[in-house]
Every structure is written in C-alpha cells, then in structure tokens.
C-alpha cells in the first residue's frame, strides 16, 4: 500500500496559478496520476507521470495549462496549474498505481489503487 499526502490547494482568481504536491510513502509504484472531481461529476483524469523516466501524460482538455513533475528523492509528485479557469474548480486527487495494473492506460481510474485524501481547488473572482 502507498500512503499519499496532498497539499497546495486553495482559492485562486481566474488566470492565476497553484501548485499541488503529493508525497508518497510505502510500496513502490510505476506511475502516479492526478484526477479531479467536481460536484455532480465523475472523477476525471488530469495528468500522470511514469516514475522511472518521467514520461508525462495529459488530458486533452488541458491544452498545456498544467504540468506534472516529480522529485524522486522526495518521492513527491507535483501538479503546476497555470491559467486557471472557473471550470477547474474541483477536488484534486493524486493516486499511485500498482505494477500488476500496468495494462491499463495512464488515464484509467482502474490503474490506480491508492489515493490521496484530495485537496480543494476553487477558482473564483
């Protein structure tokens, strides 16, 4: 099992930036992902990063506004969010996958087995 602790959410104006962090401990994993969920909507994929080489994967709707990165020494994944919009408001979750689930795509919820507690991001003027 992987323990995940998120931080960095908050209130930001449209066009602003936030950086989320997620510190991991416990079992090894091959990738970490970021998902988000708004009230009344399903949890959706935002971004993922492969841990061994740093390859990144993004949801199409982001259009380059967000960047996922990692610090392997700190076992921490980051989500830099720029040009934030009202519709980015959501609870953001980090997640760690399991090696036996690597046949799922990086954007699939089923790939991930351990989840952070979630951090609220609110974009409002």
Q: How confident is the model at residue 61, as a pLDDT?
A: 87
Q: How confident is the model at residue 81, as a pLDDT?
A: 97
Residue 95 CB partners (closer than 8 Å, separation 6+): 4, 32, 33, 34, 35, 112, 113, 114, 115, 116
Predicted confidence (pLDDT) per residue in 42-99, tens digit? 999 999 999 999 999 999 988 789 999 999 999 999 999 999 999 999 999 999 999 9
Predicted confidence (pLDDT) per residue in 25-58, tens digit? 998 899 999 999 999 999 999 999 999 999 999 9
């Amino acid at each position: 099992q992987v323990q995940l602790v998120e931080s960095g959410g908050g209130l930001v104006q449209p066009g602003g930036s936030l950086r989320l962090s997620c510190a991991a401990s416990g079992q090894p994993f091959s990738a970490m992902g970021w998902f988000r969920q708004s009230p009344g909507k399903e949890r959706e994929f935002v971004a993922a990063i492969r841990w061994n080489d740093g390859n990144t994967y993004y949801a199409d709707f982001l259009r380059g506004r967000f960047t996922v990165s990692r610090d392997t020494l700190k076992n921490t994944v980051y989500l830099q969010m720029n040009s934030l919009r009202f519709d980015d408001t959501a609870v953001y979750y980090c997640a760690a996958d399991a090696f036996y689930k690597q046949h799922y795509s990086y954007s699939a919820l089923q790939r991930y087995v351990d989840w952070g507690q979630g951090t609220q991001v609110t974009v409002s003027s």
